[in-house]
Amino acid sequence: MAQATPYRLLFLVWIAFVTRGLFYCVQQPMWEGYDEWAHFAYIQHIAEHGRLPLRGDTVSKEVRSSLGLMPSPYGLNGFNLRLITHDEYWRLPPEERLARKRALASLPAGFRTQADDALSLYEAQQPPLYYLIMALPYEVFRDTSLPARIVVLRVLSMLIASLLIPLGYGAARRIFGHGRTAVVIMILPSVTPEFMIDICRIGNECLAVVLVSALILSALRLVSREAGWRAWALFGVLLGAGLLTKAYVLAFLPLFIVVALIRIARGCGVRQNIAGFILGLMLAMASAGWWYWRTWQVTGTLSGEQIDVAAARFTVAEKLAAARNVDWVVALDELAFSHIWVGAWSFSGIRSWMYRVFELIAAASALGFIWLCGRIVVRSCRRRSLGFFGGKVAVLASTYLLFCAGLAYHVVVDFLAKGVPATCGWYLYAVIIPEFLMVALGIFNLVGRSWFRLAAAMGSLIAAALDLYTVDFILLPYYTGIITHRASGVLNTFHISDLHYVSVWEMFQRLSTNGPAGLGPTTVAVMWMAYLCATAGLVASAFILSGGSRTGQRLSPEGVKNNAGTTGLVHPDTQTHLYAGSARSLLPTISRLAFLKTVSNQQILCCDLAVPFSRPQHLDHKTIPARFHFVNRLFRPVVETFSGFCAKIAVRHFCAIEVWRFRFVV
């Protein structure tokens, strides 16, 4: 692992992500994902009727019949339908459960086109891009059973979401400038359980996460001075695609202004930025403007979201007044609850202290990130310009704050329409890349570069522990009838002794009950073991990389370049300072001869390596060649014996220090 390149490591992380995702796609029962049956009905309507669904259309008879045959999520009790929960389903006699499964497999093909007036297709409010894409594989698997189509669409949605790994790696690499560090950071979302639940279902969230991540990566690229009209055009196209996927991408429209202001603060031309701003905005509007014009005509709102439509009768002044009456502490608590882990649509929960652990980590990293932002502001005021690294931090912070502002608006309209100040915490996974990067930067400023990777590995361990606990001790026992809800609605606790009543093999048999015909208990068991191995491998990789060699480019976001045309300045670490000090004390003559600054020739001569002032290069104690004459070779054994360090390495470190002091790259 120590010899592998960052791209090979990233590929292994992606493989582990997909392996875990495959098991999540299989272990979740039918319609357990958030609003999954409504998202499926949207895709089915496009494929079967050849048009987008309208508000007021209903789901197919196939979807409605499946809801009555198979166990439904505990959260579906609010739809006023006669459904059977997982608790009730596993109390049924085995004969009746088998009859229900056969009835599901033998639903008539005509049910796919017949509408059922009992259930509205409320997800017709969503923009159409994801559903148009998914309609193509639906056409291919149209004649298969309903469980087979559900699993296929889940897997494809998960594969779309897996593109987050390379996109997130690119963003982390632009922030930290170190490939292995970026890989360690991307292990974190790979072991986050609620994120896996969110993307391993049928729904447009998977595509929205990828497009928003690509949008943020494009914004980070735009911060550099060299970015031209192509970068603005890509930014506009990505924003337009995001707007055609999810309405909450409207929150990122001001990001155009933010990026343009950052570029102006960095000394880029005002006219160039205005032209790029107009170009990107026009492309975004040309892509998605037709949908939002249609939505405005029908609902009187831009988003078209059903709660926003219900609150459309309130004026802006009334919404602002309602914002003052919202209990924001309760709203934040609900947001954190459903963001950390809520257990899909059955809305299970974990111990309260587990939520507090993640909240404390978030609070500590927020303090570290605010501290970093303060340092950037002070430094920018002194220099009267915004540096390259400061611009990228501004992009991350503004992206996250804009989305949080959108969620705050959703809390207000939900309070006006329903009287409940709440929103969906899993929406925050749309900005999972800036969230994890800001957490990483905050932790970096608290613990320093020496302990940062270990801290990130510990974060992966904590997230993986939550993942294993929630899957093996909550979800699997609940989905297989081992544990049930109490009369109060709280889920009973699973104990190992409960396996005396339902064995592990029977648990895998029950998991395969709602799946396709070819997905038997053996396949589920193999996928479960692969899931365990992938989770353990990700955590082990994080710890191995945290203890990897730190030679070469030094990890420090503080000194990242101010000019994209050169390699970033990186502060020397403690080891380099130690060797350099020893070289000055024990080898003063050799060190001074090794490093010479020649102003007349406009170049630096370091250990016989000429470095022009006009073209800075990447130098460190390994790449600088140290050449010593006869006297040096004569006295080196004596120096090594009494000082305990290698003179050759010491002089190289000395050169690295001096080059860095002359504002060259170390």
Residue 77's pLDDT is 62
- Residue whose C-alpha is closest to residue 201's, from 72, 23, 28: 28
pLDDT band (50, 70, 90) for residue 618:
very low
Residue 577's pLDDT is 47
Q: How far apart are CA 446 and CA 122, in angstroms?
A: 46
Does residue 90 have a pLDDT over 60?
yes
| 663 three-state secondary structure | coil
Radius of gyration of the chain (CA): 29
Q: DSSP labels for 115-136?
A: EEEEEE-GGGGS-SHHHHHHHH
Does residue 528 have a pLDDT over 80?
yes
pTM of the full structure: 0.81
For residues 124 and 226, the model is more confident at 124
Does residue 178 have a pLDDT over 90?
no
Q: How far apart are CA 411 and CA 327, in angstroms?
A: 10
Residue 605's pLDDT is 42
Q: What is the mean pLDDT of residues 524-532?
A: 95
Query: What size, in residues, is the chain?
Result: 666
Residue 56's pLDDT is 86
Report whether 380 contacts 208 (CB < 8 A): no
Residue 1's pLDDT is 43
Does residue 425 have a pLDDT over 70?
yes
Q: How far apart are CA 616 and CA 594, in angstroms?
A: 19
Report whether 107 contacts 62 (CB < 8 A): yes
Q: How far apart are CA 640 and CA 648, in angstroms?
A: 10
Residue 24's pLDDT is 95
**In this predicted structure, which of 136-140, 500-504, 581-585 has the lowest mean pLDDT?**
581-585
Residue 621's pLDDT is 39
Q: What is the mean pLDDT of residues 333-353?
A: 90
pLDDT band (50, 70, 90) for residue 655:
low
Does residue 616 have a pLDDT over 60?
no
pLDDT band (50, 70, 90) for residue 320:
very high
Q: Which helix (H) or strand (E) holds 312?
A: none
Q: How far apart are CA 661 and CA 666, in angstroms?
A: 9
Q: 164-176 and 6-27 are packed helices; what angle lies between their axes, rounded to 10 degrees?
A: 140
Does residue 637 have a pLDDT over 80?
no
Residue 75's pLDDT is 67
pLDDT band (50, 70, 90) for residue 80:
low
The one-letter amino acid at 575? Q
Q: How far apart are CA 576 and CA 621, in angstroms?
A: 8
pLDDT band (50, 70, 90) for residue 3:
low
- Average model confidence (pLDDT) across the chain: 82
How far from chain centre, in Å, is Cα 532? 21
Distance (Å) of CA 395 to CA 207, 212, 223, 390, 603: 21, 13, 8, 9, 36
Report whether 336 contacts 350 (CB < 8 A): no
Residue 177's pLDDT is 81
Residue 554's pLDDT is 38
Vertex 181, ends 176 and 182: CA angle to 5°? 75
Residue 584's pLDDT is 47
pLDDT band (50, 70, 90) for residue 287:
very high
For residues 296 and 223, the model is more confident at 296
Report whether 59 contacts 37 (CB < 8 A): yes
pLDDT band (50, 70, 90) for residue 410:
very high
Strand partners, 485: 491
Q: What is the mean pLDDT of residues 595-624?
A: 40
**In this predicted structure, which of 209-223, 481-495, 615-629 has the lowest mean pLDDT?**
615-629
Q: In the chain, what percentage of residues exceed pLDDT 70?
A: 80
Q: How far apart are CA 71 and CA 501, in angstroms?
A: 21
- Residue appearing with tokens 């357990």: 32
Q: DSSP labels for 164-209?
A: HHHHHHHHHHHHH--HHHHHHHHHHHHT-HHHHHHHSSSSTHHHHH
Q: Which helix (H) or strand (E) holds 60?
A: strand 58-60
CB atoms inside a 10 Å sphere around CB 19: 19
Q: How far apart are CA 15 and CA 612, in angstroms?
A: 44
Q: In the chain, what percentage of residues exceed pLDDT 90?
A: 51
Q: How far apart are CA 366 and CA 635, in angstroms?
A: 53
CB atoms inside a 10 Å sphere around CB 325: 10
Residue 593's pLDDT is 43
pLDDT band (50, 70, 90) for residue 630:
very low
Dihedral of alpha carbons 124, 240, 14, 400, sign = negative
Strands (E), 533-616: 595-598, 603-606, 609-612
Q: What is the mean pLDDT of residues 413-433?
A: 91
Does residue 72 have a pLDDT over 80?
yes
Q: What is the mean pLDDT of residues 51-65?
A: 91
Q: What is the mean pLDDT of residues 147-175?
A: 95
Q: 432-447 and 179-190 are packed helices; what angle lies between their axes, rounded to 10 degrees?
A: 120
* 83 token code pair: 């459904």
Q: What is the mean pLDDT of residues 266-273?
A: 80
Residue 652's pLDDT is 52
Residue 518's pLDDT is 76
Strand partners, 15: none
Q: What is the mean pLDDT of residues 77-95?
A: 81
Q: How far apart are CA 236 and CA 556, in angstroms?
A: 31
Residue 624's pLDDT is 39
Rank 232-246, 417-431, 541-555, 641-655 by mean pLDDT and report only the highest.
Answer: 232-246
Residue 156's pLDDT is 97
Q: How far apart are CA 53 and CA 287, in angstroms?
A: 20
DSSP-based helix, strand, coil % in the chain, nearest 5: 70, 5, 30
Does residue 379 have a pLDDT over 90?
no
Does residue 548 have a pLDDT over 60?
no
Does residue 635 have a pLDDT over 70?
no
Distance (Å) of CA 207 to CA 52, 256, 306: 18, 21, 21
Tens digit of pLDDT for each residue in 474-497? 999 999 989 988 887 788 889 888
pLDDT band (50, 70, 90) for residue 555:
very low
- Residue appearing with tokens 């927020």: 366
pLDDT band (50, 70, 90) for residue 626:
very low
Residue 565's pLDDT is 37
Does residue 431 have a pLDDT over 60?
yes
Does residue 82 have a pLDDT over 80?
no
